[in-house]
Amino acid sequence: MTDADPIASLMIVFYALIGGAIRVSTPFLFVALGECLTEKSGRINLGLEGNLILGAMIGYAVSYNSGSAWAGVLAAGGVGVVLGVAHGWICKLPKVNDIAVGLAFMGLGTGLAFFFGKPYIQPSAPRLTSVPLGAWSDSPQVQQALQVNPLFFIGIILAVFLWWMLRSTRWGLVIRVTGDSAASAKAMGVNVDGVRLLATAAGGCLAGIGGAFLSLSYPGSWNEGLSSGQGLMAVALVIFARWNPLRCVLAALLFGAAGALGPSLQSIGVSFGYHFFNAAPYIVTLGIMIASARSRSAAVEAPRELSIIK
Amino acid sequence: MTQAKLSDCMPQIGPHPGGAMSLETRAMTKTFGALRALDDVSLNVRAGSFHALLGENGAGKSTLVKCIMGFHAADSGATLLDGAPVAIASPRQAQMRGIGMVYQHFTLVPCLTTAENLVIARPDAPGIIYWRAELQRLEAFMDRMPFRVRLDRHVADLSAGERQKLEILKLLYLDQRVLILDEPTSVMTPSEADEVLTLLGGMAQRGEITVLMISHKFREVKAFCDSFTVLRHGRVTGSGCAQDTSIDAMSRMMIGETQLRARAPRLTGEASGTTRAAAQPRLTLDAVSADDATGRRVVDAVSLDLHAGEVVGIAGVSGNGQSALVEVLAGQRALSGGRVLAHGQPFAPRRADLDRYKVFGLPEEPLRNAVVPRMSVAENMAFRSFDKPPVAGRFGLISPARMRAVAAGLIRRYNVQTPSADAPIETLSGGNLQRAVLARELSGDVEVLIVANPCFGLDFASVAEIRAQIMEQRNRGAAVLLVSEDLDEVLELSDRVAVMSAGKLGPVVAVEATDRDRIGREMGGH
């Protein structure tokens, strides 16, 4: 490839980067939207990494057994709800710390997935079919790069919906009130724990669906090294997005692009620093954590009931 | 006991459909463990009246209104609305009945805008909110009000006074017909307070609402209220017509027959007066600035000289940067501009400099700023001395026995009521906590003393004692900086005064050369 026209190679890297960003960002997007919703209600669920992995495994298993990838997606969302409800219910008990519970659920979800997932590492399950957005081009690399999974579009629609819901519905305002001032919420007659339980359940559902994307679309198989901490990085992403669902989309794409940097450079034969580029998302995470810890606007927009803020 | 006939105070208003309602409590009693917070309290607020509820801290005012609002369940007694007994089990039910309250802490949600706060407070808030139509209705509502709050601002960006106004607007927006206000003007400038109270007084006079206001300020009671009730130790000690009762009579009802305290004696020594100007200031603030967490400048180039043997008082409405200034001097907040000098030398508020220049402090909210709540009284009292003899022995080892002995001496000398020197300091009452801090900070040789709201929430006896201690330090030659939201306190103790407003310090003038009205205007930024 390297002896080809440099402009063409650059374009290929560019499309590979866009396509890769979309692919890599989709699970980030779902987990981040879920975490965003949960945190808006004033609770942190660090267990979404567990939801992601268990969702990936269950989604793959159900897809394999039923023959329908979409049934797998639904099942992954369902198992996410179960984990979310359990997290929300335990956090309702007095003197329970949501961060500690979240870490426990991360271990629980991962452990369950590894335990039940052993038989599904070998077989191949039906995968979600992608939408070919690259049909206009004759370049097979471009066509390959712009195979976009429908879940990505669902994620975008969901982000817009969440943004609208948090702003323009009673439910949205109640969630924000609960996340900002539990005392005010109680004075309004809102069941604070109930709202948080529902928000955690919905957030868990989204993270489970994000997991299904991992096993049913990209990389598109089930194994134990599938997630590599994406569920945790999504928490950093929510802080970076300052609890705004629309900014979650941008942040997820940025993370996705960082993750796609290594593979897309490799597609034109650049292989030096491959491991370095693969580490890019983690470096971006660190950078973002440092930058957002110093950000004053983040301090203002953070839901004030979050246990890390209080 | 004074029991004027309430019906003399104001014209009788008949039942007013959709308007003001009368509010009564009959023989209300509430105990918390051994404490009898309310003892057989009967309160009668007529429809359309502007009624003041007076009393010292801890007299039971807040407990009474919280029982009315359904926060607490009274042990016995009844609440009557328009003469009919009502059972109210929660603030939500009170709201349904048309009783709304403005609390001392805010119930607004900081991350939401003004408009969002108003709409979500409505019990019938729609499932989907069409903001364009809602905003039009809210604008129309604001147009009917004599003061307004920007609808698109986040509540976090509003000043404390604006938030308090919004709390009151919220009750009116929700069509509440009985308004209970817990010291509503404590965070407002005098002119803001007048504006709000005039509005409410007018509405009450027109028979639209009934107002029950907890207040400490006799001026407001005389100017705006038509009737009042006084509580002391959980009992009603008087009620009557606000216009016909003298302030002296009201304050006697509040504090009983105990002697009204005299002003702490002020000695004029050599250090004060004309010789002062020539001497080196003990503490100099040179264009001191500080920012809050969001980068907003909260202390803006404050310059001040503090001389030996004087009290410089800084007055101002809460939230105008006084707390931040004290935090800078105590080392709790970073300096973002300017410098501080002690005896003309650069001063950093660290342990070494605090010791070298003998700088001591009584910060506001001592439980948060001056002590570690769960450590013992003895340990807390040793914070300034634990690493020096006699508490620290050879090799810097701390002797708990000596620490306890020192504390026992201080506890006796400053009359701190505590079960023992080993009790966690958070178990002490407010007055005793302040005395314990005082004992730690004032028992040594004090050259500079920084004091912030030292008497907030304390009873009359403790207030007198603590002010006397501060005055004694001044008389002994200490340079005292007094930051207080209580204008009377500033005027009583200070030799020179200045007003802090929006982070800026006004001119420092001798206390004889100014008066309450002028300071009040400066507090509003005029």
What is the pLDDT at residue A45?
94
* Contact assignment for B110 to A297 by CB distance below 8 Å: no
* Contact assignment for B128 to A170 by CB distance below 8 Å: yes
- Closest partner CB to A187 (pick from B107, B129, B294): B107
What is the pLDDT at residue B2?
44
What is the pLDDT at residue A268?
74
- Closest partner CB to B112 (pick from A176, A183, A297): A176
pLDDT for residue B6 is more than 70:
no
In a domain, A283, yes or no: no
* Contact assignment for B128 to A188 by CB distance below 8 Å: no
- Closest partner CB to A169 (pick from B90, B121, B129): B129
Q: Domain of A79?
A: 25-232
What is the pLDDT at residue A3?
52
What is the pLDDT at residue A300?
67
What is the pLDDT at residue A1?
43
B102-127 confidence digits (pLDDT tens): 987 778 888 899 999 999 988 888 99
Q: Which residues of B touch A299 (CB under 8 A)?
A: 293-294
In a domain, A305, yes or no: no
Q: Which residues of A touch B126 (CB under 8 A)?
A: 170
Amino acid at site B381: M
In a domain, A209, yes or no: yes
What phi-psi label fits residue B2: left (phi over 0), alpha (psi between -120 and 50 degrees) or beta?
A: beta
Local confidence pLDDT in tens for the 310 residues of chain A: 445 578 888 888 888 888 888 988 999 999 999 999 999 999 999 999 999 999 999 999 999 999 999 999 999 999 999 999 999 999 999 888 999 999 999 999 999 999 999 999 888 889 888 888 888 888 787 787 788 899 999 999 999 999 999 999 999 999 999 999 888 888 788 899 999 999 999 999 999 999 999 999 988 899 888 887 888 888 888 988 889 999 999 999 988 888 888 777 777 777 777 778 778 878 887 887 787 766 666 666 788 888 776 6
Nearest CA in chain B to A184: B107
For B347-382, give one letter per residue: b (16+ CB within 10 A) or e.
bebeeebbeebebbbbbbebeebbbeeeebbbbbbb
Helix ranges (DSSP H) in chain A = 6-40, 48-66, 69-92, 98-117, 140-145, 150-168, 170-180, 182-187, 192-216, 230-240, 245-267, 274-278, 280-294, 296-301
In a domain, A4, yes or no: no
- Closest partner CB to B109 (pick from A167, A169, A184): A184
Window from B24-28, B257-261, B312-316 with minimum mean pLDDT: B257-261
Q: Which residues of A touch B130 (CB under 8 A)?
A: 168
pLDDT band at B502 (very low <50, low <70, confident <90, very high): confident
Distance to chain B for A170, nearest Cα, Å = 5
Nearest CA in chain A to B127: A170
Task: Show me where the domains of chain B are located.
Answer: 27-255, 275-358+448-456+468-526, 364-444
Distance to chain A for B319, nearest Cα, Å = 18
- Please enumerate residues of A whose Cβ is less than 8 A from a Cβ of B: 167-171, 173-174, 176-177, 179-181, 183-184, 187-189, 296-297, 299-301, 303-304
**Omega before residue A219 within 30° of 0, cis:** yes
Architecture (CATH level 2) of domain B275-358+448-456+468-526: 3-Layer(aba) Sandwich (3.40)
What is the pLDDT at residue B5?
47
* Contact assignment for A180 to B116 by CB distance below 8 Å: no
Architecture (CATH level 2) of domain B27-255: 3-Layer(aba) Sandwich (3.40)
Reported as type and span, the H/E element at residue B207 is none
Interface of B with A in 66-125 (CB under 8 A): 90-92, 105, 107-112, 116, 119-121, 125
What is the pLDDT at residue B432?
86
pLDDT for residue B206 is more than 80:
yes
Contact B325, B482 (CB under 8 A): no
* Contact assignment for A177 to B127 by CB distance below 8 Å: no
Window from A90-94, A266-270, B66-70, B222-226 with minimum mean pLDDT: A266-270
- Closest partner CB to A181 (pick from B109, B121, B293): B109
- How far, in Å, CA of B41 to CA of B5, rounded? 17
Coil, helix or strand for B27? strand
pLDDT for residue B375 is more than 60:
yes
- How far, in Å, CA of B258 to CA of B25, rounded? 28
Mean pLDDT for all residues in chain B: 86
Distance to chain B for A39, nearest Cα, Å = 13
* Contact assignment for B109 to A171 by CB distance below 8 Å: no
Q: Which residues of A touch B129 (CB under 8 A)?
A: 168-170, 173
- How far, in Å, CA of B115 to CA of B425, rounded? 43
- How far, in Å, CA of B1 to CA of B231, rounded? 11
* Contact assignment for B112 to A188 by CB distance below 8 Å: no
Q: The pTM is what?
A: 0.78
pLDDT for residue B232 is more than 90:
no
Please check whether residue B400 touches A, CB under 8 A. Answer: no
B329-354 confidence digits (pLDDT tens): 999 999 999 999 999 999 999 989 99
For A182-218, give one letter per residue: b (16+ CB within 10 A) or e.
bebbbbbebebbebbbbbbbbbbbbbbbbbbbbbbbb
In a domain, A276, yes or no: no
The more confident residue out of A159 and B488 is A159
Average pLDDT over residues B344-372: 91
- Closest partner CB to A170 (pick from B125, B293, B294): B125
Q: Which residues of A touch B99 (CB under 8 A)?
A: none
Q: Which residues of B touch A187 (CB under 8 A)?
A: 91-92, 107
In a domain, A289, yes or no: no
Please check whether residue B352 touches A, CB under 8 A. Answer: no
pLDDT for residue B4 is more than 50:
no
In a domain, A58, yes or no: yes
Number of domains, chain A = 1
Q: Which of A170, A174, A178 to substitute to test the interface with B, most B CBs within 10 Å?
A: A170
Contact B101, B94 (CB under 8 A): yes
Distance to chain A for B323, nearest Cα, Å = 20
Window from A28-42, B13-27, B39-53, B199-213 with minimum mean pLDDT: B13-27
Helix ranges (DSSP H) in B145-270 = 160-173, 190-205, 218-224, 247-255
* Contact assignment for B127 to A300 by CB distance below 8 Å: no
* Contact assignment for A174 to B110 by CB distance below 8 Å: no
Q: Which residues of A touch B293 (CB under 8 A)?
A: 296, 299
Window from B52-61, B84-93, B318-327 with minimum mean pLDDT: B52-61
In a domain, A108, yes or no: yes
